[in-house]
Amino acid sequence: TLVRPVLEYAKIVWDPYTKTNTTTLERLQRLAARFIFSKYNRTDSHTDLCCRAELPALELRTKLERIKFLFLIFHDIICIKKYNYMDIRIGESTRHRHSVYIRKQSVRNDCFKYSFFPRAITEWNALPSGTVTLTSVNEFVKKRREHSTLPHVVSVEQSRCLSGVLLPPSESIPIIFSLVMLALICIST
């Protein structure tokens, strides 16, 4: 709860697309999963541990956050002059695209290709028409989660539940502090 926001600050803009950057962040998540369950053997699968801890992969989290952020821009919830960055074609639906289509920008290099707007626009145009016409952020996120492999947000009670044992809030604080310290050690090395 405390480590991930620090590591993934401004991840929507700085979206790691290279294998090196993605692997570094995923490695830290795998270490955290091992730490949560105190399983440090090579025979313990980090994938299973991440699933048990309900820690979705970086790529899935980023994709949901990116499309949600574009939704917020599109509906003027975030004050960005959207027409400077997007060519929105409302009402021009065909059988291959929905009624809220955003024209793709021409891309000449990887740096721009993997930046926020080109990636988000491609994902937006791939959404079903019933999803893009929603006006509520909560409904949009709920609909997006239904169509993706991303698990639902973990509640506070579930985040304190380690190995099936529900910890009271006072006992979960040292665990959170330990995870923060683990992240700081990994970042500094």
| Tens-place pLDDT, residues 155-182 | 333 333 333 333 344 444 444 445 555 5
* Residues 100 and 90 sit within 8 Å (Cβ to Cβ): yes
- Retrieve residue 129's tokens: 């028409």
Q: What is the pTM of this model?
A: 0.68
Q: List Cα–Cα distances, 73 to 6, 68, 83, 132, in angstroms.
A: 23, 9, 10, 13
**Most confident residue range from 88-92, 111-115, 163-167:** 111-115
Boundaries of every domain in the chain: 3-56+179-188, 60-146
What percent of the chain is predicted at pLDDT more than 90?
12
**Quick one: which of 122, 2, 13, 111 has its CA closest to 69?**
13
**Position 173, amino acid:** I
Query: For the purposes of burial, counting CB atoms within 10 Å of the CB of 91, is it exposed (0-12), middle (13-18) or buried (19 or more)?
Result: exposed
